[in-house]
Amino acid sequence: MTVLETRELTAFYGDFQALFGISFALEEGETVAIIGANGAGKSTFLKAIAGLLPRPAAAVRLDGRDIGALPAFEIVKLGVALVPEGRRLFPSLSVEENLLVGAYGRRLDGPWSLAAIYRLFPVLEERRQAPSTTLSGGQQQMVAIGRSLMSNPRILLCDELSLGLAPIVIRDIYAALADIKARGTSVVLVEQDLVHAMSVADRAYCFMEGRVSLTGRPKDLTREAIHAAYFGL
């Protein structure tokens, strides 16, 4: 069943057009990767779905219902959570407070709670009272993910989870992602790390200059095809 789809989604930053009619679908329980070069519009795409950018009302549908006209804080309550690029934790809140604030727009039916997040990321429990700014990049990413999980999302949008992190930390993050997937959450993963992205995704889209340049199952996509779609050569 298609839980999330976009139809001819366009997005602008002022006069600058970042997305030129993206059509996309996410099935329940699926993990879809979105890859592409910098500036291809991947983050813009997630922001548009999450409601941080203005978009046409019928361009984004959740469970068959148009949500394009809804503001971001309503969309979270419908079960779509975005883990933003660059973590963007709240600097004046502690680790635990960052997690708790994620529960502000929480859906009641779901497995996630503070205790569950601490089980997923035990290191956070040790540093629960610390100011969020004193954590390492990897730990901050864990807080960012945990914060979004606290709203019990059905769909998790992840923007560049591995950005700026060491390989060993990325491994831990992706291990947690497997746990999240196992609970039935549908995931849209924007990644520059092709290897990791393709290893966990059921399907992939490649973006180039605001358009979809390639789509398919990872095992069906050849390196040459991906290369061409990524760089447009």
Partner 1 sequence: MRPGGTKPAGSGEGGHRRPRFAVSRATRASTVTALLAVPMVLLLFALPAFAGRALLQELFYVFTMLTLAQLWNLLAGCAGLMSVGQQAFVGVGAYALFAFTVIGGLDAAAAIVLGGAVAGIVALPAALIVFRLRGAYFAIGTWVVAEVCRLVLAQVKQLGGGTGTSLSPEVASSMIGLDFVRSFFQVRGSAARDMLTYWLALALALVTFFLVYKLLRSRYGLALSAIGDSEAAAESVGVDVFRTKLMIYVVTAIVTGMAGALIFLQKARISPDAAFSLIDWTAYVIFIVVIGGIGTMEGPIIGVAIFYLLQYYLAALGSWYLILLGALAILLMLFAPSGVWGVISHAFGLDLFPVRRRLIPLGVAGNDTKPQS
Partner 2 sequence: MLGWIDTLLQGVLLGGLYSLYATGLSVIFGIMRLVNLAHGDLIVLAAFLILAAAAAGVPIVLAFAIVVPLMFVAGYALQSVLLNRALGRNILPPLLITFGLSIIVQNGLLESFSADSRRLHVGALESASLPLGGGIAVGLMPLLCLVSAIAVIILLNGVFYRTALGRAFRATSDDVEIAQLMGINNKSIYAVTMGIALAICAVAGLFLGARANFDPSIGPARLLYAFEAVIIGGLGSLWGTLAGGIVVGVAQTVGAHINPEWQILSGHVAFLIVLVIRPRGLFPRAVD
**Using CB under 8 A, which of 139, 151, 186, 213 touches partner 2?**
151
Residue 69 interacts with, from partner 2, partner 1, none (CB under 5-8 Å by kind): none
Nearer to partner 1, 111 or 232 (CB): 232
The backbone torsions φ and ψ at residue 227, rounded to the nearest 5 degrees and listed phi first, read: -55, -45
Residue 198 interacts with, from partner 2, partner 1, none (CB under 5-8 Å by kind): none
Nearer to partner 1, 198 or 214 (CB): 214
Cα separation, 206 vs 190, whole angstroms: 10
> Under the criterion CB under 8 A, does residue 232 sit at the interface with partner 1?
yes
Contact at 8 Å (CB) between 33 and 45?
A: no
Distances (CA, A) of 166 to 54, 84, 141, 157, 195: 35, 19, 12, 21, 14
CB of 89: closest distance to partner 1 in angstroms? 23
Decide: residue 79, CB within 10 A, 0-12 exposed, 13-18 middle, 19+ buried: buried
Cα radius of gyration (the chain): 17
Residue 81 interacts with, from partner 2, partner 1, none (CB under 5-8 Å by kind): partner 2
Nearer to partner 2, 31 or 148 (CB): 148
Residue 76 interacts with, from partner 1, partner 2, none (CB under 5-8 Å by kind): partner 2
Residue type at 194 in one-letter notation: L
> Under the criterion CB under 8 A, does residue 39 sit at the interface with partner 1?
no
Binding mask 159-178 for partner 1 (x = CB under 8 A): --------------------
| 211-216 β-sheet, strand order | 80-83, 155-159, 186-190, 31-36, 203-208, 211-216
Distances (CA, A) of 196 to 33, 119, 167, 193, 200: 10, 23, 10, 6, 7
Site for partner 2 in 65-94 (CB under 8 A): 71-73, 76-77, 81-82, 84, 88, 90-93
Strand partners, 81: 156
Nearer to partner 2, 77 or 171 (CB): 77
Site for partner 1 in 10-29 (CB under 8 A): 15
- Cα–Cα nearest to 104, from 71, 156, 152, 63: 152
Stretch that binds partner 2, among 146-154, 198-206, 207-215, 224-232 (CB under 8 A): 146-154
